[in-house]
A and B are shown apart, each in its own frame.
Chain A
Amino acid sequence: MTEVASSLPPPIRRPDVSPARLARRHAAERRFRLCALAAVVIAAGMLLALIGTIAVQSYPAFFETRIGLDVDFDPDVIDPAGTRAPADLGDANYAVLVRRALEKVFPEVRTRRDRRALKRLLSADADLALRDMVLGNPALIGTTQRVWLLASDDVDSFVKGLIAREAPQETRRIDERMAAWIDALAAAGRIETRFNATFFTAADSREPEQAGILGAVVGSALTLIVTLALSFPLGVLAAIYLEEFAPRGRWADLIEVNINNLAAVPSIVFGLLGLAIFLNVFGLPRGAPVAGGMVLALMTLPTVIIAARTAIKAVPPSVREAALALGASHMQAVLHHVLPLALPGMLTGAIIGMARALGETAPLLMIGMVAFIAEVPRGFTDPATVLPVQIYLWADSPERAFVAKTSAATLVLLGFLAAMNAVAVILRRRFERRW
């Protein structure tokens, strides 16, 4: 029976192009396209919502409130001996000047408690601001100047409308009495809201109105310089060796598998390694960019190696063969021809690795970079903090004004990332060669 069947020519089957079937196929395609489009719209919407929220929340952080007071730079207080020596000027009790200036505006305030509340209108370091003015320009002594002093974070929040007047007395930071003072100051034109330059020129502070992002930005930059300086050359050289020179075999496979595994290791493990080796064995300073950069370099290295190997693999073998057939040595073929063609890909990979390192906090936790640092680091061995750590620290702070600061710092971090990615794109465009 089978013989009979196989001897017959099989019936020819034509494609089924009936309108109903075609319509079903087209409908399926439309559904699929809609789903894909919806996915893109949802993703873009979430991203926009995220950035929008951060931008709106961070808006108050870019402005600060200042209170204008007529300060009498009384020589009897500042320099009773009349030496004008910087040491004497620096030691003077400027808080008296602040108190007197406040009393001039509010002569009716008498009790100690009220006076203390009055002083809380200003930022805690108002006297230091006066001292810096006098040290910078001793000619001020003996004159009376309208000085715009930084308001405290509570006043700032109140002026910006972040503290509602209707809130119950007991729970809000600005009571009726202080609100009345602020209104009086505003009526007298003594309250101004200005662009917050402090945010970009200061390091962290316990007082929200004095806290800035510069310390974290510089810390991040120093850390990333160390990371890039270590991981890029090491990664590229390792990739060149593994791709071009290493004998293929079990050892090469083992190394390859381990590099891929290393890229997937949780970053905190690198932090532990850094703590054990860089701090405890090598004795590097705790919490310094040099140690942080080295830990992040360890973490980025597998990414850089993998990216660099991919870039080398993408160079057409014909280029390598052409060089070798001309009598170039292997090293000449690699340095003159393979490396220039692979460099854009390598740089892109390195920058993507850097971007990941920029957002990393966990490994830095282990080596003491998660700390309150009130000074802008001056070098690779100064204690420093980095942007994501700064965001974490501010998000953890109880003061209301830090909410906006947290968002503002996030914006700065995102801006940093966008800038790095832009650099990656520019480098790729500039060095990319077509063939």
Chain B
Amino acid sequence: MHLVPLPTTGPAPTATAGRLAAAADADAQTAAFAVRGLDVHYGATPALRNVDLDIAHHRVTALIGPSGCGKSTFLRCLNRMNDLIADCRVSGRVLFNGTDIYAPGTDPVSLRARVGMVFQKPNPFPKSLYDNVAYGPRIHGLAGDRTALDEIVETSLRRAGLWDEVKDRLDAPGTALSGGQQQRLCIARAIAVAPEAILMDEPCSALDPIATARIEELIDELRTEYTIVIVTHSMQQAARVAQTTAFFHLGEVVEVGATERLFTDPRDARTKGYITGRFG
């Protein structure tokens, strides 16, 4: 499923608009996330304005843009982490696999079990490596007994490429690992719950280039099974890991497209200005 850049600016002839809307509805049914008319305010300050965006299954979508452009806010709308912020108001529709996650009946707890998240700063629990990974499966009752739980922990750590480094010291505290290992632990912790999508908020910004390369490889491997949305400040990183890139500016989606096309042939002047380093 390809992601179609939605027209966000400029008046279009009515017939075209109607056809595009129909196409967008069809996309909404097949996309992993379909966001329509999303507005977010922090108190009186608008953070996102009328954002329309589709995020395809089993692909890596990168969100880029200057600081304060709303890309992290957008990411946090996808698993309702913005609910934690007291004066945050969200309007518009966010469909995840066709169901509106902001509908009154949606339980954010079950949503977050299906949409995992990796944060900017590695935040392992101050518990053992094992307990870090086992926590999600435990609270969701994914493992019937200890053997099953051991298996989930091992598979998750293997998938995160951390197993060989830590298999002998699963009792060590998660906080004793290096930064890059901690971030891979957080990824292992997220995939242990077997989510359908993983949201990553600048996962490499606190890491050195080698650890970053390791995480980027991992993201590429995980793409086959998970829908991944990644916020990044590094355009090189977006170019390396993402198939689709969306450029945010001042709370709006300026341009969306296949990563290669967006970086080589930006259609909007603002996108061009950002990727050539003239502002941001």
Contact = CB atoms under 8 A, between A and B. Distances in A.
Contacts of B279: none
A23 to B, nearest CB: 45
A119 interface: no
B135 A325 contact: no
A341 B110 CA distance: 26
Interface stretch (B29-37, B47-55, B93-101, B121-129): B121-129
B126 A325 contact: no
Contact of A324 (B84, B125, B190, B193): B84
A433 interface: yes
B229 to A, nearest CB: 13
Given A322-B186, A323-B135, A328-B139, A433 B123 contact: no
B123 A326 contact: no
A337 interface: yes
Contacts of B86: 248
A318 B117 CA distance: 12
- Range class of the A interface residue count: 20 to 34
A416 B125 CA distance: 37
A434 interface: yes
B22 interface: no
Given A319-B126, A321-B81, A332-B139, A326 B119 contact: no
Interface in B166-200: 173, 175, 186, 189-190, 193
A168 interface: no
Given A319-B123, A337-B125, A325 B116 contact: yes
B233 interface: no
A327 B139 contact: yes
B110 A327 contact: yes
A323 B117 CA distance: 10
B113 interface: yes
Contacts of B117: 325
B112 A327 contact: yes
Given A318-B119, A322-B186, A327 B125 contact: no
Contacts of B126: 319, 341, 433-435
A417 B227 CA distance: 59
Contacts of A325: 79, 81, 112, 116-117, 119, 190
Contact of A321 (B84, B110, B173): B84
A321 B109 contact: no
Contacts of B112: 324-327
B146 interface: no
B81 A327 contact: no
Nearest to A248: B86
A329 B123 contact: no
A248 B86 CA distance: 7
Interface in A293-333: 316, 318-319, 321-329, 332
A336 interface: yes
Interface residues of B, number: 27
A332 B111 CA distance: 16
Contacts of B19: none
B136 interface: yes
Contacts of A434: 126, 175
B110 to A, nearest CB: 7
B125 to A, nearest CB: 6
Contacts of B109: 327-329
B278 interface: no
A324 B111 CA distance: 11
B81 A324 contact: yes
Interface in B74-123: 79, 81, 84, 86, 109-113, 116-117, 119, 121, 123
Nearest to B199: A325
A435 B175 contact: yes
B116 to A, nearest CB: 7
Contact of A322 (B84, B125, B140): B125
Nearest to B111: A327
A326 B121 contact: no
Contacts of B139: 326-328, 332, 336
B121 A336 contact: no
Q: Which of A319, A324, A337 has the most chain B CB atoms closer than 10 A to its own CB?
A: A324
Contacts of A332: 139
Q: Which of A248, A316, A326, A328 has the most chain B CB atoms closer than 10 A to its own CB?
A: A326
Given A248-B86, A319-B126, A434-B175, A326 B135 contact: yes
Nearest to B113: A327
Contact of A327 (B119, B121, B123, B193): B193
Contacts of A336: 135, 139
A322 B113 contact: no
A326 B110 contact: no
Contact of B193 (A248, A326, A435): A326
A327 B194 CA distance: 11
Given A324-B81, A327-B110, A434-B175, 17 more contacts: A321-B81, A322-B124, A322-B186, A323-B125, A324-B84, A325-B112, A325-B116, A326-B193, A327-B111, A327-B139, A327-B193, A328-B109, A328-B139, A336-B135, A337-B125, A341-B126, A433-B173
21 contacts: A318-B121, A322-B119, A322-B123, A323-B135, A325-B79, A325-B81, A326-B113, A326-B139, A327-B109, A327-B112, A327-B139, A327-B193, A328-B109, A328-B135, A332-B139, A336-B135, A341-B126, A433-B126, A434-B126, A434-B175, A435-B124
Closest 7 CB pairs of A and B: A327-B113, A318-B123, A325-B117, A327-B112, A435-B175, A326-B136, A433-B126
